[in-house]
Structure 1
Amino acid sequence: MKIVLTYPFLTGKGGMETVIKKILLNVPSTIQLDFLLPGGSKDESWIKGISRNNVKLVFHDFSNPVSILYDTFSYVRKEKPDAVITMNNLQIIPLLAARSFVKNMKIISWNHFSLKHTKANFLLQKCDLFLAISSGIVDELGELGIDSSKVHLVYNPIDKAETLIPSSQGKEKKLIYVGRVQYEDQKNLAELFKILSHVNYAYRLEIYGDGPTQEKEKLNKLADSLGISTNITWNGWKNNVWGSIKCADLALLTSSYEGFALALAEAASHGIPVISSDCPSGPRDIINSVNGRLYEPGNINQAVSLINDFFTGKLKFGTPKEITNSIEKFYTPNYINNFFKIISEEK
């Protein structure tokens, strides 16, 4: 079976790259997979180490949207795969055109964001199969009228941590945020800063991630105005972020929307409890009473109460080992087997 996996462009520094790399490293020998990025990847270091006979990396450098769509059409028409997996709705247009030349080719949608924040959702009606990374996306596809028999809940894969990250010692707690640096929009770090400005106990927020300079500048100004600047450490992007974290007491996420919230699952894998907004979609699939708590997005008082209760010991979670075992269904071996079984059976 031949598959083309495609997306217009990747920065090289995100959760999607992490998931895609795991897929590429674990493609069964019975499948030939071509990974097509018409717009290439800004940073290609994430893709190093992938050298397999049945995996082909095809990175181009188109920047014009029309050129990206045409390149998608041209490549698929030439290679004639059995199935194409796209993570972008607009790419469905050239795939429909290519299908006129490629008999029985399946078009598979694998969206990595809540459909409430994606464009051209009407094109999803033309797909043959859907891989949903959260139960929230399953619900959103149902709201669009997609036949439930075509939808498969696959989640996202993570590697089970070999070692757990210990909690900190002393009075100051280590809080961590892992992800893209954005003032508002998806990651909504402004809300995190406002929440922490009301926390009554000693803490240090360690931020692991990168973003546009203007976003960080706005966040620094907000931190100054809230009086929490001295509580924040900016660590930037790390290729091996979890190897860089020596201790942590709590992971935090205040996103307005997600696809899966990979950072939450990775934190739990390392035995770290989490507190997150109950945003669409993803956190609700990951967080349970053993590994964390959810708060209503925008409800700063509720989030503050949870964090303060954590500091006082009123809010308790499972042991680190119980936390890492609480997300067993997301670990890579189980995920890979299910992912390719679904695609192969739908051939």
Structure 2
Amino acid sequence: MNNELHILLVDDNPLDRGIVKRELRQEFGELHFHEVTNANELSAAISGDEFDLVITDFQIRWTNGLDVLRHVKLQHPTCPVLMFTATGSEEIAVEAMKSGLSDYVIKNSQHMVRLSGAVRNALENAAIVRRAAYLETRLQNLLTQLQIGAFSCSLDGLFTDANDAMLELLGCKSASDLPGRSLREFFPSQVDSGTFLKKIAAANTSEETTVEFNSDPGALRVLRINGRQIHVAGEPPRIDGLVEDVTIRSLAETRARQAEIAQTQIEMLSDREKQILIEVAAGGMNKTIARKFDISTKTVERHRSNLMKKLRVRSLAELVRLAALAENFSQQLSVPQEHPL
């Protein structure tokens, strides 16, 4: 256990405070105790941030353990609080647990051995909670940096929570604009959104789809949406998911597919047709091409006409565009400089 552990001890009985300090030092070694014996000391201690755990009695001359718990949790939500008392009851213990109490230990010799274990468990659980909160914050920051929207919504698609990137996708200035907004807005039709939501509701796995979304007039985005149904005890089922703007990636993939198709088409041409296509794509005139390959202008025109038919293009501009799509095709093809007709 870390020797720099600081414990805020709230108890107006000096004998009981001594018992707590002795018991915990036997288990954990050197500890730093901040002993509180009045309301002013408690307020000053809570306003600071110099303790890792709070141990409080329930019945105190100037307050009670429930109020101590509430004051601590108000300013330090993740700080573990233990109640070590001889004057509480089962009802008080239940109420305290609902308010965030980590554990409740009875002040007597029989239960004294539980105190060290309760402290250890409370500190370990608090560390887990802080770690989870840190990871959640880090994840949200990463998602925001990557412009990936994270959301929670009802099974019908109504948003209940969203990160900054998601709010931006929705055109919301702040989280206060979120009520009434729905995941369905990203879909081209109610039928499409309904189908996606029904799949999530019926499955125990994540569902994913890609949609085209008009965020602004004339600004078409391609969004990848995935979601999964989440069940938490005592809460209605919800959907947690991500929305990623993949417009640039989708455009790149489309161009890659078009380039692959263009290369396949070009590979079906004869060597002479490939030569002519390279020259045409470079802006060569018929007469210039004819002189370069020592052929007639009419032969060049015939090759150009055949290229248009074979490549299924209707204009010179389309022919040049297709050649440009086939990235580096001229370097990849072994085209002879001269070829007999």
Say which one has the larger Rg.
2
- More contact order relative to length (CA 8 Å, sep ≥ 6): 1
Q: What interval of TM-score do these two structures reach, taking the shorter chain for normalisation?
A: under 0.3
More helix by share: 2
Q: TM-score, normalised by structure 2?
A: 0.28
